[in-house]
Structure 1
Amino acid sequence: MTTTSHVLPPPSTPRGDAGADAGAREAGADGSGGERPARRAGGRLRALDGLRAMAALAVCSYHYMGKGQQVAQSWDGSPAHIFPTLSRAATYGSLGVQLFFLISGFVICMSSWGKSLGDFFRSRVARLYPAYWVAICVVTAASLIMPVVVHHLRSDEILLNLTMFQQPMGSPRVLGVDWTLWVELKFYIFFGLFVVWRGVTYRRVVLFCCLWTVACVFARVADNGLVTELVFRDHAPYFIAGLAFYLIHRYGSDWLLWGIVVMSFLLAQRYSVTALWHPGPQGAFVHNPYVIQAIVAVWFLLIAAIALGWLGWANWKWLSVAGALTYPFYLVHEHMGWFAIRIFHRGMGIGPYPTVALTLACMLGLAWLLHTFVEKPFGPRLKRSLKISEARQALIRGGR
């Protein structure tokens, strides 16, 4: 796993799916002859917004205080020496990505219930791309102003980055967090094609989880690059667990769902340790495998608490604001943060801890601008523009 930020990107706003129970109306109520009746519908899960913001801040701490290379150039020294105590904790902030993936599985399952395949993909495109395109432009402009912080790419590479397909195409990334967006995008594609197009139901999601888990195991045995890329075995267990957790939230606990969660946890903690535990030379950042396992366990426990309704008390409105800013913050915080650190610390001589605070404030401000002036106005417009009108649909059907 490449230890850079995001996830991730957050999916759509985590709301309950009141009125989207088409699948739950199928005949049968025992989960065998038909679809199980939903236990919960409606309501807003603001605790997910809070966890999303926590994951973003964890990744941010890693990029500012727990990572070497480019950020060390901005600090003019290794974060391990500048933050001798805090940097050891910050280096585990990269695991915030795993929390993003867990949340994504939960929210995508929730938000896709009752949607057609077209509606599902339109919502994903409208959610991901507007802020992403502007972030590409902002970071590219920064690379022209201060290439010592952000390396400038060729024009063809920048244009390819606008598709979000640069990683499989072998092109350098404008945004360091792009690798997680590609993982998310693959999850959306697979879940859309294998589940959403037929209608999201309990049985279809369970079958998808089981088959994907088996595919992950065989992908390790196959040891084939194409299979690994398609199955993304190192990250799939988090999405699978998120899907199962949402079914627990919606329908209640059963042994099958908890079995999927436990199996996903066992695979997830193993993959996280093998990806991050690389003992290095003296003085280098070294991840403790037991700490990695503990953090992954905490992530699973937190999502389990939401699935079981134990965090319903965390219903403050400011959590929704924090959740809304998470995605644009995630996109720009890495490279633009290094840019700000270099200006505040090396250019203006501000101390390390005030520099981190100022940089974080600037990135939150930039995220607010992206959310207010890009996501809110242009996301809905893009979604509407992608919808084929009824007249055009009639013409297409007639042309067949």
Structure 2
Amino acid sequence: MTNTLPRVRSAGGGQPQRTAERAPVAAPVSRLRALDGLRLVAALMVALYHYGGRSGDISKGWGASPKKLFPATHEWFSYGCLGVQIFFIISGFVICMSGWGRPLRSFFASRVARLYPAYWAALIIVTAVFALPWVVYKTVTPSEFVVNLTMLQMPVGVHRVLGVCWTLWAELRFYALFAVCVVLPGATRRRVVLFCAGWTLAAALTATAEQPFLSAVFMPECAPFFIGGMGLYLLHRNRRDVTAWGIVAVSWAIGQHYAVAGLWHKPNPAAFSNRHASVIIAIITLGFLLVGAIALGWFRWANWSWLTVAGALTYPFYLVHEHLGWVVVGILHRKLHIPAPATFALTIAAMLALAWLLNRYVERWATPMLRKALTARPATL
């Protein structure tokens, strides 16, 4: 969810095995624009969930439960949360691609520069809006705000300004594991395969150990999707890689299990929605299939430049859409009395517009500037 795609040429059948293992050669690149488009689709899925697929805080914005406002579609909206799992698959693919042949300093700088500028801007905007006298929603103390700037508020135990931060915390842990185990020694197919196998086993054992520290490190419920994405990148380099096919298959099998276990419950008339296990499995499967189809080059024809723009808007949109969306929904629906379907569409359009502003006036200058500062060698005395 949080990455721009490096400009990578499809590796097609890949380099011969022995050559690939000798040294961490950077992957040849061309833009996979279809992946940019899929990232925005996943973000819009999450927005559908936040605006119409659950009860709680969004009900305050609407003035009523989305179940009453969208009786025919609220259950479908409730599946939108699975966009997060699709994000993780894409992230596994992209991080493996961007870390291949890159030194640790460059990898660290690229991730920090990509994540933090828009995140800081979103924190400031949301905090300021929530502090307005006519909003006053979950204001944070100066101390809590400062901790949120680090993106480490969850392990520290501080209130989250942005609700979606839990996914960023998962991304950070994935980056750290990948950096230490793959980027630091130098990315090769063998190291990536061993990392995927080791992480899969560690995550499976952690699920039975019930140790909070191990769960925080190995993330059993998220790991299959990151690992599956890395397996798909290996297939992007060499579609005949049988081991990579096995990594993807095992990751899909474990991932769909966790998705069903986390989202399915027995039918209950009092519940907001009743998700069907078969639909959950179908959406997870579709996510793997779509990223796989892009990895294998089946979407080369989707090479429109606007898909790059869509990918650029995804991260800032994801950061701001939830909490600011509640405020916009309240203004449009309860104060201006705009019908719920129109309010829904207008809110998404407003958040996309804000995302464009953040990308244009924050990310475009702050990201390269921060990356350059982090990769520069300290001046010698």
Q: TM-score, normalised by structure 2?
A: 0.94
Q: Which amino acid aligns with 1:266?
A: A
Structure 2 distance, partners of 1:273, 1:147, is: 40
Give the equivalent residue in structure 2 for 1:3.
none
Q: Does residue 1:185 correspond to 2:172, yes or no?
A: yes
SS in 2 for 1:95: helix
CA contact (8 A) 1:329 1:363 kept: yes
Q: Which amino acid aligns with 1:362?
A: A
Structure 2 distance, partners of 1:363, 1:381, is: 26
CA contact (8 A) 1:17 1:110 kept: no
CA contact (8 A) 1:46 1:314 kept: yes
Q: Aligned-pair distance for 1:253?
A: 2.4
Q: Does residue 1:378 correspond to 2:378, yes or no?
A: no
CA contact (8 A) 1:41 1:250 kept: no
Q: Aligned-pair distance for 1:325?
A: 0.5
CA contact (8 A) 1:98 1:235 kept: yes
Equivalent of residue 48 in structure 1, options 25, 35, 54 = 35
Q: Deviations over 1:342-374 (max 9, x none)?
A: 000001111001111111111111101100000
CA contact (8 A) 1:17 1:111 kept: no
Q: Aligned-pair distance for 1:41?
A: 2.9
Deviates more, 1:272-281 or 1:111-120: 272-281
Change (3 A) 1:166 1:17: farther
Structure 2 distance, partners of 1:274, 1:99, is: 17
Q: Does residue 1:15 correspond to 2:7, yes or no?
A: yes
Q: Does residue 1:154 correspond to 2:145, yes or no?
A: no
Change (3 A) 1:298 1:147: farther
Change (3 A) 1:233 1:146: farther
Counterparts of residues 197-208 of structure 1 (less than 5 Å): 197-208=184-195
Q: Does residue 1:345 correspond to 2:333, yes or no?
A: yes
How many corresponding residue pairs? 378
Unaligned 5+ segments in structure 1 are 1-8, 396-400
State the identity as a percent: 49
Structure 1 distance, partners of 2:104, 2:24, is: 23
Structure 1 distance, partners of 2:285, 2:149, is: 35
Q: Does residue 1:74 correspond to 2:97, yes or no?
A: no
Give the equivalent residue in structure 2 for 1:196.
183
Structure 2 distance, partners of 1:222, 1:175, is: 30
Q: Deviations over 1:27-61 (max 9, x none)?
A: xx3359935999x8322100100100100000000
Structure 1 distance, partners of 2:134, 2:369, is: 34
Q: Which amino acid aligns with 2:359?
A: H
Give the equivalent residue in structure 1 for 2:236.
249
Q: Which amino acid aligns with 1:79?
A: P
Q: Which amino acid aligns with 2:366?
A: F
CA contact (8 A) 1:139 1:332 kept: yes
CA contact (8 A) 1:277 1:287 kept: yes
Counterparts of residues 1-400 of structure 1 (less than 5 Å): 9-16=1-8, 29-30=16-17, 34=21, 41-145=28-132, 150-279=137-266, 280-389=268-377, 391-392=379-380
CA contact (8 A) 1:176 1:334 kept: yes
Q: Aligned-pair distance for 1:232?
A: 0.4
Structure 2 distance, partners of 1:287, 1:266, is: 19
Change (3 A) 1:37 1:139: closer
Structure 1 distance, partners of 2:47, 2:297, is: 29
SS in 1 for 2:128: helix
Q: Which amino acid aligns with 1:327?
A: Y
CA contact (8 A) 1:12 1:111 kept: no
Give the equivalent residue in structure 2 for 1:6.
none
Structure 2 distance, partners of 1:14, 1:350, is: 41
SS in 1 for 2:301: coil
